[in-house]
A and B are shown apart, each in its own frame.
Chain A
């Protein structure tokens, strides 16, 4: 059953902080700070989190568009960290990316047919001009655009159409794996659904595997098999789509879920919201202990000292590839009992719970 196409282990991506050219060490920006996950062949992992939590950097570093600081990324059994220049290009034929901004991701000076055709040129995927044009028309049609639109320039297309062009370009290299970096965030709501449907159709048809990055759960829950929630460079909860949506275990996931509007106005008015205060702390200097504690509505004393690991939580047996995990001290005893002897703070956790809750 377990046949991961992509396996990420303890991935770190740190950027040097700017400002000082010579001498004086500054903390690096820990954009991605030790995350692990895997995606099974033909499945979709939704990666959710606020702006700046490192989700896009994760996608870029998987494709080695940003060099990881440490950790391994294994794609179909190959460790991507060791790829030479040639192998890296070969790998990029198997993995492509769809970008958030369909305005900026296409060169305004070149026709969309040329943009798609270039992907073919790069990997010598066509024989002659005629074959290239035919294949471009085919790809345009595949993503729901008129096959004759290849001679037009990006500015003649709407946002949704441009995103389709971006998808066609990604498909041109015949990939197995697509990183979709917020592919619908820049689109009108009415267009979002169409693009999501297109991605779903393509997945069925071409057996694609997706890493679907988004900042709200609403988009992700419709396309994902599994969902990982990211906060400040870490994954705080990961599990089967249904488990995460219906039975969220981490306070941050709950807050994200409560930000998703409910279509029924009565229900919308009645439900309780978890509102987060403040901003995401600086990834140059993350809080001690649990990174979410500065904004967590259920914070207690131990959170400042213990950096929680992902541990199995919840009752739901994941229907797709494994369990449901969360990184929160509240669940120290719920899923898999933590031995009190190994967990010296368990008593304090309980004591802290009593005092901390009614504040909000």
Chain B
């Protein structure tokens, strides 16, 4: 063919025949194929239901003392035994789930919103805005998590609310970094540049093109951070700067139990197991989500699927 102007466009005219499988559905099926992730999901569902219906599940008022039954071992009456004041450990663990989840969700919510905004702003704008914000995040990041949280609570005063604020601040740099890194690469992608060449505003580009493309790492990070937030709250409560007695929290139930190791193993085992299981559940789900959402693997398979 010497002259490329020969007309033969019809070869491409007919519509492609493959069916669209939505990305959402693909993600869900990838997640459900992962047994560990499903296990995590099931445990989390149980945890959430426990927290929601704690009032129906408890067998005694959580602060009801029954001194006659101090240190009662697990039995049909006291499923998880009783503590040094004769309070029902089962009921306290159940209500503690509510505290742990609340701290996790609220503090991760704070760090997710703050970190995402900072990451989007710094990554999209670049230049000195990027430098200033990310150096500030580095400073926060340089402190050990627990130490920084203790310092913040010490300044704000120990309470449930301040614990959530402190944990939220401590985790903000993680989100800011994850988001900024993704934004830096997405911003330079050709399809984003193409939209800008059409005259799209920064707002439109950020909301409709950058944010959806960085959503996957944010979701994964949120899931993993929930585990660490619960752990951090437990640690803070354990050393007495988190949730204040008599409200039940797993962390300080553990620290109480330490004093009565000899009198009752159940005092430490059940709250400890609750922390362990919920942290593991979030971690398993987070890992599963990361595998299911991995933007690199997925987009390569999707966009080059033809070849």
Residues 125-175 of A contacting B (Cβ, < 8 Å): 144-146, 148-149, 151-161, 164, 166, 169-170, 172-173
Stretch at the interface among B14-22, B60-68, B161-169, B259-267: B14-22
| Chain B window 275-307, contacts with chain A (Cβ cutoff 8 Å), 1 for yes, 0 for no | 000000000000000000000000100111110
Would B16 and A65 count as touching, CB distance under 8 A?
Answer: no
Please tell me the size bucket of the interface on A.
Answer: 35 or more
Q: Which of B213, B304, B306 contacts A109 (CB 8 A)?
A: B213
B4 interfacial by beta-carbon distance below 8 Å: yes
Would B199 and A118 count as touching, CB distance under 8 A?
Answer: no
A157 to B190, CA, bound (A): 18
Complex: chain B residue closest to A194, CB-CB: B9
B5 interfacial by beta-carbon distance below 8 Å: yes
A residues neighboring B (CB under 8 Å): 63, 65, 88-93, 96-97, 99, 101, 103-109, 118-119, 122-123, 144-146, 148-149, 151-161, 164, 166, 169-170, 172-173, 191-194, 196-198, 200, 222, 263
5 A-B residue contacts at CB 8 Å?
A97-B197, A104-B189, A107-B213, A108-B191, A169-B194
Most chain A CB within a 10 A radius of its CB, from B190, B199, B208: B199
Would B13 and A106 count as touching, CB distance under 8 A?
Answer: no
B155 interfacial by beta-carbon distance below 8 Å: no
Given A99-B190, A146-B13, A263-B2, 8 more A-B residue pairs with CB atoms under 8 Å apart are A96-B198, A99-B193, A108-B303, A144-B9, A152-B16, A156-B20, A191-B12, A222-B3
Q: Which of B192, B193, B199, B302 contacts A122 (CB 8 A)?
A: B199
Would A198 and B193 count as touching, CB distance under 8 A?
Answer: no
B25 interfacial by beta-carbon distance below 8 Å: no
Find chain A residues with CB under 8 A from B29 CB: none
Residues 197-247 of B contacting A (Cβ, < 8 Å): 197-201, 204, 208-209, 212-213
Q: Decide yes or no: A89 and B209 within 8 Å by CB, A65-B196, A145-B13, A146-B15 being known contacts.
A: no
Most chain A CB within a 10 A radius of its CB, from B3, B190, B197, B199: B197
Would A144 and B13 count as touching, CB distance under 8 A?
Answer: yes
Q: Decide yes or no: A169 and B20 within 8 Å by CB, A193-B1, A197-B5 being known contacts.
A: no
Q: Decide yes or no: A222 and B4 within 8 Å by CB, A104-B190, A104-B191, A194-B12 being known contacts.
A: yes
A263 to B4, CA, bound (A): 12
A89 to B6, CA, bound (A): 37
Q: Which of A108, A193, A200 contacts B302 (CB 8 A)?
A: A108
Q: Which of B2, B18, B198 contacts A173 (CB 8 A)?
A: B198
B49 interfacial by beta-carbon distance below 8 Å: no
B10 to chain A, nearest CB (A): 8
Q: Which of B5, B196, B306 contacts A155 (CB 8 A)?
A: B306
A108 to B272, CA, bound (A): 45
Would B12 and A164 count as touching, CB distance under 8 A?
Answer: yes
A71 to chain B, nearest CB (A): 20
Q: Which of B5, B7, B14, B190 contacts A105 (CB 8 A)?
A: B190
Please tell me the size bucket of the interface on B.
Answer: 35 or more
Would A109 and B212 count as touching, CB distance under 8 A?
Answer: yes
B218 to chain A, nearest CB (A): 15
Complex: chain A residue closest to B204, CB-CB: A122
Would A154 and B303 count as touching, CB distance under 8 A?
Answer: yes
Find chain B residues with CB under 8 A from A153 CB: 20, 302
B11 interfacial by beta-carbon distance below 8 Å: yes
A123 to B200, CA, bound (A): 8
Most chain A CB within a 10 A radius of its CB, from B20, B198, B204, B306: B198
A52 to chain B, nearest CB (A): 18
Would A92 and B305 count as touching, CB distance under 8 A?
Answer: no
Would B16 and A105 count as touching, CB distance under 8 A?
Answer: no
Q: Nearest 7 A-B pairs (CB), nearest first?
A: A92-B199, A193-B4, A146-B15, A104-B190, A89-B199, A107-B191, A97-B197
Would A149 and B194 count as touching, CB distance under 8 A?
Answer: no
A170 to B198, CA, bound (A): 7
Q: Which of A152, A160, A173, A263 contacts B199 (CB 8 A)?
A: A173
Would B197 and A96 count as touching, CB distance under 8 A?
Answer: yes
B23 interfacial by beta-carbon distance below 8 Å: yes
A103 to B301, CA, bound (A): 12
B57 interfacial by beta-carbon distance below 8 Å: no
Find chain B residues with CB under 8 A from A103 CB: 303-304
Would A118 and B198 count as touching, CB distance under 8 A?
Answer: yes
B195 interfacial by beta-carbon distance below 8 Å: yes
Find chain A residues with CB under 8 A from B12 CB: 144-145, 158, 160-161, 164, 191, 194
Q: Decide yes or no: A158 and B306 within 8 Å by CB, A153-B20, A192-B4 being known contacts.
A: yes
Would A148 and B305 count as touching, CB distance under 8 A?
Answer: no
Complex: chain B residue closest to A148, CB-CB: B15
B26 to chain A, nearest CB (A): 11
B30 to chain A, nearest CB (A): 16
Find chain A residues with CB under 8 A from B194 CB: 97, 99, 105-106, 166, 169
Would A107 and B209 count as touching, CB distance under 8 A?
Answer: yes
Would B16 and A161 count as touching, CB distance under 8 A?
Answer: yes
Residues 1-57 of B contacting A (Cβ, < 8 Å): 1-9, 11-16, 18, 20, 23
A128 to chain B, nearest CB (A): 19
A155 to B8, CA, bound (A): 23
Would A63 and B303 count as touching, CB distance under 8 A?
Answer: no
Would A118 and B16 count as touching, CB distance under 8 A?
Answer: no
Find chain B residues with CB under 8 A from A159 CB: 306
Find chain B residues with CB under 8 A from A161 CB: 12, 16
Would B195 and A155 count as touching, CB distance under 8 A?
Answer: no
Complex: chain A residue closest to B305, CB-CB: A155
Would B303 and A193 count as touching, CB distance under 8 A?
Answer: no
A116 to B31, CA, bound (A): 32
Q: Decide yes or no: A196 and B199 within 8 Å by CB, A109-B212, A161-B16 being known contacts.
A: no
Complex: chain B residue closest to A95, CB-CB: B197
Complex: chain A residue closest to B215, CB-CB: A109
A185 to B56, CA, bound (A): 67
Would A197 and B7 count as touching, CB distance under 8 A?
Answer: yes
Find chain B residues with CB under 8 A from A157 CB: 16
